[in-house]
Amino acid sequence: MAGKVLVVANWKMNPPTFREAKKLFEEERKAAEKARGVNVIVAPPAIFLRELSGMYRGSKIAFAVQNAHFEAGGAHTGEISLAQAKDARARYVIVGHAERRSEGETDDDTRKKVAVALALKMTPILCVGESARTGSGEQFEVVRGQLHAGLEDVSASALIKVLVVYEPLWTIGAKTTMNPRDMHQMAIFMRKCVVDSHGEAGRSLKILYGGSVDEKNVGAMLEDGDVRGFLVGRASVNAIEFTKLLQAIESSS
């Protein structure tokens, strides 16, 4: 595979205390430093971000927020802005995660968040994917619509600064992951959608896969899935599993 494999560690609403977060981060830092072919982006709960990023001196790990508001400020109780996230040293922001979409994040929100992130020189990690598969192929139309909306305000030359994750809701927190060949087919489709909307620049769209990624399935996905990396939930909040995951990527990339 050309270039390093990107691993986004989406801790979600874990762990319960900063003490545990610090310990988890320290273990993941060690694992990341040994995995030469991998770049790691840690997305901790926002409340832990500033302290974790302030402790870290290396360049192997970058930080993300799991969500942020597109407005610069104002009456949005409970929200944080992208500028505040950046000020706490987040260089990336996850946009449109399936769990947030199911709590009301709209396509239009994703469009605004992607645009504001780019304007702040942050990298949006735009998540797309259908909620369920019925066998009639409607996942393609869902993904086309989400890509269209999320990338609507992105110029062709700025596409390079966006990461797109295909992460269907039905593979998140599931027992099995997606078949790499299906992922490959989806990656081809996603590039085609973006070529249709943005021209040739769409061919180099950076695509990651998410949904029940672990040390056992990551090798096959790298081999046949046509992806540059992964968005990892459960396996990223267990230091042993995360270490094994990075080792598995190292030995197959």
Q: Please list the active-site residues.
A: 97, 167
Residue 88 in tokens = 């706490």
Question: Which one, 139 or 212, has the nearer CB to ligand PGA?
Answer: 212
- Token readout for 49 is 């971000």
- CB of 202 vs ligand PGA, minimal distance in Å: 24
* Cβ closest to ligand PGA, residue 10 vs residue 139: 10
Instruction: Give the nearest distance from C-beta 206 to ligand PGA in angstroms.
Output: 17
Spatial CA neighbour of 235 closest among 24, 37, 91: 24
Q: Which is nearer to ligand PGA, 159 or 232 (CB)?
A: 232
Chain contacts with ligand PGA (rule: CB under 6 A):
10, 172-173, 210-213, 231-234
CB 23 within 8 A of CB 245: no
CA distances from 24 to 6, 128, 218 (A): 19, 28, 21
* Residue with the shortest CB distance to ligand PGA: 233
Shortest gap between Cβ of 177 and ligand PGA (angstroms)?
A: 8
Least gap, CB of 66 to ligand PGA (angstroms): 9
Closest CA to 167 of 138, 188, 146, 194: 146
What amino acid occupies position 121?
A: K
The CA distances from residue 94 to 2, 27, 99, in Å, are 24, 23, 11
The 8-class DSSP code of residue 76 comes to -
Residue closer to ligand PGA, measured from CB, 98 or 193: 98
Tokens (6 digits) for 146: 């989400």
Rounded to the nearest whole angstrom, what is the least distance from the CB of residue 52 to ligand PGA in the complex?
18
8 A C-beta contact, residue 175 and residue 212: yes
* Ramachandran area for residue 74 (φ above 0: left; ψ -120 to 50: alpha; else beta): left
Comparing CB distances to ligand PGA, the nearer of 70 and 230 is 230
